Structure 1
Amino acid sequence: MRRREMLALSLALSLASILAAIAGPVAAATALTLHKDPTCGCCVGHADYLRAEGFAVTVIETTDLESLKRQHGVPPALAGCHTILAEGYVIEGHVPAGPIRRLLAERPDIVGISLAGMPPGSPGMGGEKTEPFVIHQIERSPGTETPAIFAVE
């Protein structure tokens, strides 16, 4: 390396070090584990969307999602095409990043949240969004017929 190149590299490394000190430590991405059927492509789209939103997503393929949903207290009426587990919560279906961040920040005493079904235009799904997404709470008390609304986007 020539002297000029060495000087430029040294300057760049020094600048990077100063900027890192000013910015402080980088926060670790929130870990999400997305359980999906091996044949479902929209679930991969949702995982990609969540990664782009700063989450660390691990995808696990399973052919028995129903057992996983039952085990984690997801009522059939609130089921989505995939189940995400994060920090003790269940996130069911194509929930946007905002309600997930809110859930993990506020930490309510619930099982989790759900965007039931596969609404067009939701993150990872094709199509056009035609109405607000209604995100429901999954309550801890079994048999709750009408869960409260957690967030609307």
Structure 2
Amino acid sequence: MTKFPTLFAVALAMGLSTIATVTLAETRDTDNQIMVFKTPWCGCCQAWVEAMEKAGYDVETTDMEDLTPIKMQAGVPGELEACHTAMIGGERKYVLEGHVPIEAVEKLMTERPDILGVSTPGMPMGSLGMGDDPAANYAVYAFTGRAGEAPAVFFKAGKQ
């Protein structure tokens, strides 16, 4: 894929002194592009990537042994961390933490709320990449990154 001007650069701290810059390529439909940071051995993360690709998203992955620097740079609250971190969007970037369902991503990109991102904390059974059970019940939380603002339910998956 040809790289165009950088839309989003994430400094990756690897060890004490190595820094790499990862860019999201700009095309006509940047809202359709997702950059995913995951560990190389996580099958459920790969299943989430493949489901997003099947849904029509252009997904670029970067495998890393330690995702801590990415999660910190992205502003993911500790209680909302999951097994992979992704970014989506053109001018207005959003963080997708963990096994966020396609419907929640679509809602995010349609509504474009004033938040930093959304998270499906942990690895809920039945979530996208974890069995993809439409009847699975779990919540997707929105987080703003603003001091004093607690995460709020953004989307409820399954029948709750």
TM-score by length of 1: 0.75
35, 43, 62: which one aligns with 1:33: 35
Mapped partners of 1:129, 1:120: distance in 2: 11
Paired residue for 1:111? 116
Paired residue for 2:15? none
Mapped partners of 1:107, 1:124: distance in 2: 24
Mapped partners of 1:83, 1:39: distance in 2: 15
Counting aligned pairs with the same residue, the percent is 37
Cα 1:127–1:84, aligned 2, differ >3 Å: closer, same or farther?
closer
**CA RMSD of superposed structures (Å):** 1.9
Cα 1:128–1:100, aligned 2, differ >3 Å: closer, same or farther?
closer
Listed as ranges, the matches of 1:118-137 within 5 Å are 118-126=123-131, 131-137=136-142
Paired residue for 1:95? 100
- Write out per-residue CA displacement over residues 42-88 of structure 1, whole angstroms, 9 at most, x where no aligned residue: 10000011111111111111122111101111011000100011111
Report the structure number with the largest CA radius of gyration: 1
Paired residue for 2:14? none
What 5-or-longer segments of structure 1 have no aligned partner? 1-26
What 5-or-longer segments of structure 2 have no aligned partner? 1-27
Mapped partners of 1:50, 1:105: distance in 2: 17
Cα 1:143–1:40, aligned 2, differ >3 Å: closer, same or farther?
farther
Moved over 2 A (4+): 126-131
Cα 1:110–1:63, aligned 2, differ >3 Å: closer, same or farther?
same
Which protein is richer in strand relative to its size? Answer: 2
53, 56, 59: which one aligns with 2:55: 53
Which protein is richer in helix relative to its size? Answer: 1
